[in-house]
Amino acid sequence: SDIILEAKNIKKHFPIKKGLLLREVASVKAVDDVSLVVRKGETLGLVGESGCGKSTLGRTLIRLYEPTAGGINFDGQDFLNLKGEALRKKRKNMQMIFQDPYASLDPRMTVGQIIRQPMDIHDIGTNAERTARVLELIELVGLRKAHVNRYPHEFSGGQRQRISIARAIALNPELIICDEPVSALDVSIQAQILNLLKDLQEKLKLTYVFISHDLSVIEHTCDRIAVMYLGKIVEIADRDELFKNPKHPYTQALIGAIPRVGHGKKKMKKSLGGEVPSPINPPSGCSFHTRCPYKMDVCVSQTPVLEGEGKHQKACWLTSAPVQTQNGI
Ligand code: SF4
Ligand code: MG
């Protein structure tokens, strides 16, 4: 099968506890009923405003967070029921690259020790083999062998992200969750890191779930894109199709808010009107209805599900896509 991971009806709710008895008084519905597939070798983008649940979904897909409900199939196995050694083995196949290469690298460890650590933890190879592999990885990510005994603080942000990437690929994973991997970097460095990720994907047959709030980074990087809003996927399609023919009013607003050359920066809030509601008490029905200019009665009373022909799906009660204006909504 060409599917590496399938998530069904995933929920991740974080309880809010109060009082001496820590009674659960509410929960943050960070991910609320998400189903998706990830295909081998693709880059699937997760995009949305901050707080929409994309990072939580990414972490939940590889069980850095245990889902509150739902199922995950990884490479034909029921991933959520794996335990002990079987789980440890599977975990080697999935890695994560984080936004902040300053915070995610231990400042007391050398570059060599950092890259070697996954091999030490999983007890892979002899000492000499691990050392040889570290040097190979250092070159693969565009650093120099002479860097092996240096410390993270001696490197720039882009170089640190290269170190994180070397660590992430050390065990030959199949799937990497990239959570805002270039958001902390200067724009001039972003393209270099994105190109490195692309090269490694081709060389090592990697599959990426690529999380970003930045639609132009997503457009540059992803084969398929899922748009998230308040813990749900509201639209999913191939990249070109999504940008040419966005069907969900939220996607249209996001795309309308991409800064274009010569137009200056338009803030999403402006084109959308209003803030993202709280994921503790999301609006009834379609959770976008508080900001949607096309709201109908049904939008308030009933939750739309993701549906549509073929590869392009949206969760919206409108039967046809509203005509887009130049400035989004
Ligand atoms: Fe707007 Fe209704 Fe569609 Fe939600 S379901 S996006 S409120 S038209
Ligand atoms: Mg995030």
ipTM of predicted complex? 0.97
| Substitution candidate for ligand 1 out of 235, 250, 296 with most atoms within 8 A of CB | 296
Return the SS3 of 92. Answer: coil
- Closest ligand relative to 253 C-alpha: 1
Return the SS3 of 131. Answer: helix
- Has residue 47 got a pLDDT over 50? yes
CB-based burial, 15-28: b 16+ in 10 Å, e otherwise: eeeeeeeeeeeebb
Reading the block at residue 39, the tokens are 């295909």
Single out the residue of 106, 113, 77 nearest to residue 94, CA to CA.
77
The mean of the pLDDT values for the chain is: 91
Query: Which residue in the block uniquely carries the two structure tokens 């409900």?
Result: 69
Query: Which residue in the block uniquely carries the two structure tokens 């410390």?
Result: 151
Alpha-carbon Rg of the chain, whole angstroms? 21
pLDDT of residue 295: 94
pLDDT of residue 268: 46
Query: Could you tell me the distance, in angstroms and rounded to a whole number, from the CA of residue 190 to the centre of ligand 1?
Result: 35
Determine the Cα–Cα distance for residues 187 and 185; give it in Å rounded to an integer: 6
Contacts of 134 (CB under 8 A, 6+ apart): 112, 115, 116, 148, 170
| Substitution candidate for ligand 1 out of 287, 292, 297 with most atoms within 8 A of CB | 292
* 236 CB within 6 A, ligand 1: no
Give the position, in ligand 1's atom list, of the atom nearest the Cα of 300: 7
Higher-pLDDT residue of 128, 325: 128
* 317 CB within 6 A, ligand 1: yes
pLDDT of residue 108: 95
- Has residue 262 got a pLDDT over 60? no
| pLDDT tier for residue 264 given thresholds of 50, 70 and 90 | very low
Query: CB of 62 within 8 A of CB of 225?
Result: no
Determine the Cα–Cα distance for residues 186 and 157; give it in Å rounded to an integer: 8
Q: At what angle do helices 157-169 and 187-204 cross, to 10 degrees?
A: 20
pLDDT (tens digit per residue) in 112-126 = 999 999 999 999 999
Query: CB of 274 within 8 A of CB of 291?
Result: yes
Burial classification of residue 257, based on how many CB atoms lie within 10 Å of its CB (0-12 exposed, 13-18 middle, 19 or more buried) = buried
Q: E strands, 151-262, where? A: 175-179, 207-212, 224-229, 232-238
- Has residue 300 got a pLDDT over 50? yes
Taking residues 277-301, report their average pLDDT. 94
* 40 CB within 6 A, ligand 1: no
| Substitution candidate for ligand 1 out of 318, 320, 323, 329 with most atoms within 8 A of CB | 318
User: CA end-to-end span of the chain, whole Å?
Assistant: 40
Determine the Cα–Cα distance for residues 71 and 153; give it in Å rounded to an integer: 41
| pLDDT tier for residue 328 given thresholds of 50, 70 and 90 | very low
Query: Could you tell me the distance, in angstroms and rounded to a whole number, from the CA of residue 59 to the centre of ligand 1?
Result: 28
Tell me which amino acid residue 221 is: T
Return the SS3 of 40. Answer: coil
Check whether domain 3-93+173-314 has CATH 3.40.50.300, yes or no: yes
Taking residues 102-111, report their average pLDDT. 91
Q: Nearest C-alpha to atom 7 of ligand 1 is from which residue?
A: 289
Single out the residue of 200, 141, 201 nearest to residue 166, CA to CA.
141
- Has residue 244 got a pLDDT over 90? yes
* 316 CB within 6 A, ligand 1: yes
- Has residue 214 got a pLDDT over 80? yes
* 294 CB within 6 A, ligand 1: yes
Tell me which amino acid residue 49 is: E
pLDDT (tens digit per residue) in 143-198 = 999 999 999 999 999 999 999 999 999 999 999 999 999 999 999 899 999 999 99
- Has residue 270 got a pLDDT over 90? no
Determine the Cα–Cα distance for residues 122 and 118; give it in Å rounded to an integer: 6
pLDDT (tens digit per residue) in 245-256 = 999 999 999 998
pLDDT of residue 103: 83
pLDDT of residue 276: 85
Query: Could you tell me the distance, in angstroms and rounded to a whole number, from the CA of residue 50 to the centre of ligand 2?
Result: 6
Query: CB of 177 within 8 A of CB of 209?
Result: yes
Give the position, in ligand 1's atom list, of the atom nearest the Cα of 296: 2
- Closest ligand relative to 251 C-alpha: 1
| Substitution candidate for ligand 1 out of 298, 316, 329 with most atoms within 8 A of CB | 316
Kindly list the domain boundaries of the chain, sorted by start residue. 3-93+173-314
